[in-house]
Structure 1
Amino acid sequence: MAYWYNIATQQVETDENRSRNDDVMGPYDTEDEARGALASARENTEKWDAEDRAWEGKDEED
């Protein structure tokens, strides 16, 4: 079973009750992973931004 995180309702959804709009993130293997979707997305964005700055030769404080 796949799990989804609905950013509009802030609820975890399954395939059976998943919203069919752009407000869902996933799929995730577990309910806990879906519940942590926003934190995971934030961590990934910060990591990728740091990698971009390093690749461009910029300090993190620029």
Structure 2
Amino acid sequence: MHAAAPWLQIYTGELVGRRGVAVEPMTCPPDAFNSGVDLVELAPGEQHTLTFRIDAVAPAAP
């Protein structure tokens, strides 16, 4: 994964009986509204863009 984000969150569905993984790049950590860590604050009319790419890689042959 290549992302212009310092934080990453990964979810799995195993606790609810599902198979799969979700990957979510984040610009700030959990609780950033309270801590202020890496929080991006925008003035009215401003924009913020986050780009990311996930590459699928085939497993190596044995």
The alignment's TM-score, normalised by the length of structure 1, stands at 0.21
- TM-score normalized by the length of structure 2: 0.21
Greater relative contact order, per chain length (Cα 8 Å cut-off, separation 6+): 2
More helix by share: 1
Larger CA Rg, structure 1 vs 2: 2
- Greater strand proportion: 2
